[in-house]
C-alpha cells in the first residue's frame, strides 16, 4: 500500500511502523492468546505492564527526573486549561500568562474562570508574529505560576528557549512540540500535552508534574481534575484511555529506535529549514513569523493570491499531499511537520509548491 503524506495539525500522522504493529496486535496482544488490548482490564497484570513500560520509556526519552509524576489522563489539553488553575493557583489565586496566539488565548480565558490572570506579555498587537522580548515581560511577584505555550500550533510561533521566570513554577502547554527535541524537564513545574500530535492518538493527555506541586487543589476542583488524586491512583482513578495509552507506548518505542529526541531534533530542524527556505526563496509564498521565532512543527504560509487557495489544495490532494489547509481563524495553508512526517513528505511538498508556482505564479 502506498501512503499519502499527511500534514494535519492534529490528530496528526502516526509512524507507519506503529500502525502496523498495532494492526498485528489488534486481535491478540503479543501473540499470547490474551485478546486485544482494548478488551483488557486496566487493572490486570497485562495492561499494567503496558502502562508502566510506556511511562518508563517516556521518562527515558525526556530524561524526566524521579521527583516528577507522569500522568496519563483524558480531556485533552483543553481540560488542562482548567485543571492547571484549579490545582495550582493557590490561596493568593493570582497567576501569570504569556499571550502569544490562539491557544494561549484559550488557556487565559479558561484560567480567568478560576483565578486572577496577569498577562506577562502579549504579541497580539503584532498579530502574534513574534515571541515578546524579555524586556517587555511584566511578571507579577505574587503569581502562583507562569504559564506559556511553547508552540502555537495555529500561528506557527515557537519559543526556542525556555523562559526564565525565576523561582516560579513554569507551566507549559507542550501539546504541539513535546518530544520534538530534548527539553530540560527540571525547568518546568508542569508540562501538559494532548497526545494527538507527537504522542499518539486523540483521547489521551500527558501531564508531567513536579511532586512538590501536588495536593494544592482548590476546594472546588473536581476529583477527576485533581493531580494528586490522579498521581495517588497511578492515573487509574477511573478507567483510563487504555488503547490510546498502549499506542503512545508504541510511539515511545519507535522514538527510541529512531535515536531518541536528539535524532528527532536534527530531523525536525532539517525538515522545517527546507520548507522555510523554499517559502522565503519564492516570491509567491510567504510566512509572517519573525525568523527567530518560527515553529519547527507547524509551518503556515499564504499564497500571493488567496483566490488560488482552493485550486492549490485540490491539486495538492491529487499529488497525495493531504491536510494543508490553514486553521479557519487564519486561513492560507499550514504544513505540520511532526515527528512522524518523513523528510520525503517535505521534499514532495516543496516539489509540488515549486511546480504550482511555475504554473500559476
Ligand X SMILES: Cc1ncc(COP(=O)(O)O)c(C=O)c1O
- Give the interface with ligand X as residue ranges (CB under 6 A): 10, 76-78, 103, 149, 153, 173, 175-176, 194
Rounded CA gap, 30 and 19, in Å? 15
Of 153 and 287, the one with the shorter C-beta distance to ligand X is 153
Helix intervals (H) in the chain: 16-24, 45-62, 76-88, 102-111, 227-232, 242-257, 260-281, 309-318, 343-360
Rounded CA gap, 246 and 89, in Å? 32
CB 282, min distance to ligand X, A: 27
173 noted as active-site residue: yes
Marked catalytic residue, from 29, 57, 96, 103: 103
CB 123, min distance to ligand X, A: 15
CB 286, min distance to ligand X, A: 23
DSSP for 72-102, written as a single string:
EESSHHHHHHHHHHHHHSTTTTEEEEEE-SH
Of 47 and 338, the one with the shorter C-beta distance to ligand X is 338
Marked catalytic residue, from 105, 181, 197, 325: 197
Of 151 and 282, the one with the shorter C-beta distance to ligand X is 151
Of 87 and 149, the one with the shorter C-beta distance to ligand X is 149
245 noted as active-site residue: no
Marked catalytic residue, from 173, 245, 271, 293: 173
Is the CB of residue 333 less than 8 Å from the CB of residue 349? no
Kind and range of the H or E element at 171? Answer: strand 170-173
CB 179, min distance to ligand X, A: 14
Whose grid coordinates read 519564492? 282
137 noted as active-site residue: no
Q: Which of 226, 181, 188 has the alpha carbon at shortest distance from 88? A: 226
CB 91, min distance to ligand X, A: 28
Of 122 and 153, the one with the shorter C-beta distance to ligand X is 153
CA distances (Å), 267 to each of 7, 276, 321, 342, in order? 16, 14, 20, 9
Q: Report the catalytic residues.
A: 103, 173, 197
Amino acid at each position: 500500500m502506498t501512503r499519502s503524506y499527511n500534514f494535519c495539525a492534529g490528530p496528526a500522522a502516526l509512524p507507519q511502523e506503529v500502525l502496523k504493529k498495532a494492526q498485528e496486535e489488534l486481535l491478540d496482544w503479543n501473540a499470547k492468546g490474551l485478546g486485544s488490548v482494548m478488551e483488557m482490564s486496566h487493572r490486570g497484570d497485562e495492561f499494567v505492564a503496558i502502562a508502566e513500560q510506556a511511562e518508563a520509556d517516556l521518562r527515558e526519552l525526556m530524561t524526566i527526573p524521579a521527583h516528577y509524576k507522569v500522568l496519563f489522563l483524558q480531556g485533552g489539553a483543553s481540560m488542562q486549561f482548567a485543571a492547571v488553575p484549579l490545582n495550582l493557583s493557590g490561596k493568593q489565586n493570582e497567576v501569570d500568562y504569556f499571550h502569544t496566539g490562539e491557544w494561549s488565548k484559550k488557556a487565559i480565558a479558561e484560567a480567568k474562570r478560576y483565578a486572577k490572570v496577569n498577562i506577562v506579555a502579549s504579541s497580539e498587537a503584532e498579530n502574534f508574529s513574534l515571541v515578546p522580548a524579555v524586556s517587555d515581560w511584566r511578571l507579577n511577584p505574587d503569581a502562583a505560576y507562569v504559564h506559556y505555550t511553547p508552540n502555537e500550533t495555529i500561528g506557527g510561533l515557537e519559543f526556542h528557549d525556555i523562559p526564565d521566570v525565576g523561582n516560579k513554577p513554569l507551566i507549559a502547554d507542550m501539546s504541539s512540540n513535546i518530544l520534538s527535541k530534548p527539553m530540560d524537564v527540571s525547568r518546568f513545574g508542569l508540562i501538559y500535552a494532548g497526545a494527538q500530535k507527537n504522542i499518539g492518538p486523540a483521547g489521551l493527555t500527558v501531564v508531567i508534574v513536579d511532586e512538590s506541586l501536588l495536593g494544592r487543589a482548590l476546594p472546588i476542583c473536581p476529583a477527576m481534575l485533581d493531580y494528586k488524586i490522579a498521581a495517588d491512583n497511578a492515573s487509574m482513578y477511573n478507567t483510563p484511555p487504555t488503547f490510546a495509552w498502549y499506542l503512545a507506548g508504541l510511539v515511545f518505542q519507535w522514538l527510541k529506535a529512531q535515536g531518541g529526541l536528539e535524532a528527532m531534533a536534527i530531523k525536525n530542524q532539517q525538515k522545517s529549514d527546507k520548507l522555510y527556505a523554499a517559502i522565503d526563496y519564492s516570491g509567491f509564498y510567504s510566512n509572517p513569523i519573525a525568523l527567530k521565532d518560527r515553529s519547527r512543527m507547524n509551518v503556515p504560509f499564504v499564497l500571493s493570491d488567496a483566490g488560488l487557495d482552493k485550486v492549490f489544495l485540490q491539486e495538492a490532494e491529487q499529488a497525495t499531499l493531504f491536510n494543508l489547509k490553514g486553521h479557519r481563524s487564519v486561513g492560507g495553508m499550514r504544513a505540520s511537520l511532526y515527528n512522524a512526517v518523513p523528510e520525503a513528505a517535505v521534499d514532495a511538498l516543496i516539489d509540488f509548491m515549486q511546480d504550482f508556482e511555475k504554473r500559476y505564479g
